[in-house]
Structure 1
Amino acid sequence: MRANVWLRCLREAPEAESRLVVFPHAGGAASYFFPLSRALSPKIEVFAVQYPGRQDRRREKTFEDVVPLAERLVEQLRPVDDHRPVVYFGHSLGATVAFEVARRLEAEGNGPRALIASARCAPSAHRSHEIHLLDDAGIVAELRKLSGTADRLLDDEELLETLMPAIRGDYKAAETYSYTPGPPLNCPVFGFYGDDDVRVGEEDLLGWKAHTVGGFELHGLPGGHFYPSENPTRTAEEIEARVGSVM
Structure 2
Amino acid sequence: MTATVGHSRWLPFPDTEGGLRLYCLPHAGGSASAFRPWIGRIPGVSVLPVQYPGRETRLRENPHVDIPSLASELAEALLADAQDAPYAVYGHSFGALTAFEVLHVIRGLGGPMPSHLIVSGFSAPQSEDFADDAVTDEEIVALLRDLGGTPEQYLTDRRILKMIMPPLRADLTAKVAYRYMPRPELDVPILALGGVEDQQATYDSMRGWADQTTAGFRLHPLNGGHFAVLEQQEETLRVIAGVLCRSGD
TM-score (norm. length: structure 1): 0.92
Residue of structure 2 in register with 1:225 after alignment = 226
CA distance in 1, matches of 2:223, 2:160: 30
| CA spacing shift, 1:82–1:65, aligned 2, 3 Å | closer
> Do the aligned partners of 1:70 and 1:100 also contact (CA within 8 Å) in 2?
yes
In the other structure, the counterpart of 2:184 is 183
Counterpart position of 1:113: 115
1:68 and 1:187 mapped to 2: Cα distance? 22
Q: Which amino acid aligns with 2:247?
A: V
Q: How far did residue 83 of structure 1 move?
A: 2.5
Correspondence 1:99-138 to 2 at 5 A: 99-107=100-108, 108-128=110-130, 130-133=132-135, 135-138=136-139
Give structure 1 stretches of 5+ with no counterpart.
none
Which residue identity is paired with 1:33? F
TM-score, normalised relative to structure 2: 0.91
Q: Is the 8 A contact 1:7 1:47 kept in 2?
A: yes
Structure 1 pair 10–238 and aligned structure 2 pair: CA distance change class (3 A): farther
Choose the corresponding residue for 1:7, options 4, 11, 15.
11
The separation in 1 between residues aligned to 2:130 and 2:84, in whole angstroms, is 38
Inter-partner Cα distance in structure 1 for 2:39 and 2:57: 20
Separation in 2 of the partners of 1:55 and 1:149? Answer: 16
- Which of 6, 19, 22 aligns to 1:20? It is 22
2:204: which partner in 1?
A: 203
1:215-236: CA deviations, max 9, x gaps? Answer: 1111111221011221111111
Q: Which residue of 1 aligns with 2:38?
A: 36
Say whether 1:85 aligns with 2:86.
Answer: yes
Paired letter, 1:43: G
Q: Which runs of 4+ in 1 moved over 3 A?
A: 79-82
1:122-181 Cα offsets, whole Å, 9 max, x none, are 121121363342x21111111011112222322221111121111111112122211122
TM-aligned CA distance change 1:169 to 1:46, over 3 Å: same
Looking at structure 1, the residues matched to 157 and 15 of structure 2 have their Cα atoms a distance apart, in angstroms, of: 30
Query: Residue 79 of structure 2 contacts residue 111 of structure 2 at CA under 8 Å; is this kept in 1?
Result: no
Supply the distance in 2 between the matched residues of 1:76 and 1:85 (Cα, whole angstroms): 15
Deviations 1:170-211 (A, max 9, x none): 112122211122121101011111111121112211111111
Give the aligned partner of residue 173 of structure 1.
174
- Change in Cα spacing, 1:175 to 1:10, as seen in structure 2 (3 Å) is farther
1:37, distance to aligned residue in structure 2 (A)? 2.7
